[in-house]
A = this chain, B = another copy of it.
Amino acid sequence: MNKTRLEAFSDGVLAIIITIMVLELKVPHEASFEALRQLLPVFISYIMSFVYIGIYWGNHHHLLHAVKQVNSRIMWSNMGLLFFLSLVPFSTAWMGVNHFAPLPVAVYGVNMVLAGLSYSILETAIRKHYPHSTALTEALKRQKKKEYISTVIYVTSIPCAFFYPLVSAMCFVVVSILWVIPDKHIEQALKEEV
């Protein structure tokens, strides 16, 4: 199995996930500022998850860069990642509709931890299949630190959500900013390869 179809399928699923989230912005039947204002929490949660799916898409792309052939293990690890990401539209909308109430924020955190975990599993599956290290895989290893920090923040934000849900929501924003900042090492590694 070559990786082209795995990428195409993953791109398709991620493109649909990122787009159907907007369907939760229910079109109000009044043309007032008030109607818009009520959508604000859903909108904010939408922006957050849009950025997250974007980050996962970018990282997924880097990760599969070195891959040529795909075995069963890689395929099913990838399906696991897509599964937890496919739950993001649900947990995003639940959090937004309930104005960042404790339980939905905690569930969003759980979703993020599980997505992160399944990403690590995919990473391990690929590394086992392609043990030869390149400039890119070296750069990816440095990303590990980012992954640990993110996981710690997520795991902390889950119990925190029951007391200060907005603090947990802020944690999610902090993690996303951490990832949007481009990684010099990866950019460099990709440049060298060209």
Q: Which A residues form the contact surface with B (CB < 8 A)? A: 1, 5, 7-9, 11-20, 22-25, 27-33, 36, 47, 50-51, 54, 57-58, 61-62, 65, 69, 71-73, 75-76, 79, 82-83, 86-87, 89-90, 93-94, 97-98, 101-104, 107, 180, 182-183, 187, 190, 194
Contacts and interface: CB of A to CB of B under 8 A. Distances in A.
B97 A9 contact: no
Nearest to A19: B16
A22 B182 contact: no
Nearest to A103: B31
Given A5-B11, A50-B79, 10 more contacts: A1-B65, A12-B14, A13-B18, A16-B16, A17-B19, A22-B89, A28-B94, A31-B104, A50-B83, A69-B190
Nearest to A60: B5
**Copies of this chain per assembly:** 4
20 contacts: A1-B61, A1-B65, A5-B61, A7-B8, A9-B14, A9-B15, A11-B12, A12-B14, A15-B15, A15-B16, A22-B89, A22-B90, A28-B94, A31-B98, A31-B101, A32-B103, A33-B103, A50-B86, A58-B72, A58-B75
Contacts of A19: 13, 16-17, 20, 86
A71 B22 contact: no
Contact of A76 (B12, B86, B180): B180
